[in-house]
Structure 1
Amino acid sequence: MKNSTLNIQVATAVFMLIGGFALAVAGFIVPPLGQIHESVLGIFAECLIYAGSIFGVTIYIRTKYAEMKTYLDESLKEERRVKNEESM
């Protein structure tokens, strides 16, 4: 379940990047040539923000999970070491 959710998030983020880029390119090739309307730029910015938030949140969660796991592992090792010293 967790892996499929991550795949959906990444797929939608990549789709938004591709879609936003396609809109920006289309803005250059429709009349008036060479000018992008501000609404196209706004949608492109929203696509970038969405994709950035998906990737940023994913990276943040992975980092925090790794920090928590490391902290718990070190705490358990310390607790075992103290118990071993007390039993001697």
Structure 2
Amino acid sequence: MSPLKLPATLLHDQADDCLATWVAQLPPDLPPAVVLDASGLSEFDSSALAVLLGLRRVLTQKGSVLRVDGMTPRLSELASLYGVMDLLQPA
């Protein structure tokens, strides 16, 4: 499975559609870890975190884990501020 990619812009208005699109694209046989490339994300609000956590929840229910690669400093800072960094970047 090729990595999922965050769009350049992910604001509240796009959040539900973004998550629904990813969930619809998931293959029935998931790999142990699904990679999401966050490096292209440049304009976002806290809804981006909600999308990532929603995808993480869906993958966990299906027996897989989410691995977020390329988190920008700003996205990492927001995740830390909201206390969810450990959920998105487990040790």
The two structures share one fold, judged by TM-score above 0.5 = no
Give me the TM-score of the superposition, normalised by structure 1: 0.29
Larger Rg: 1
More helix by share: 1
More strand by share: 2
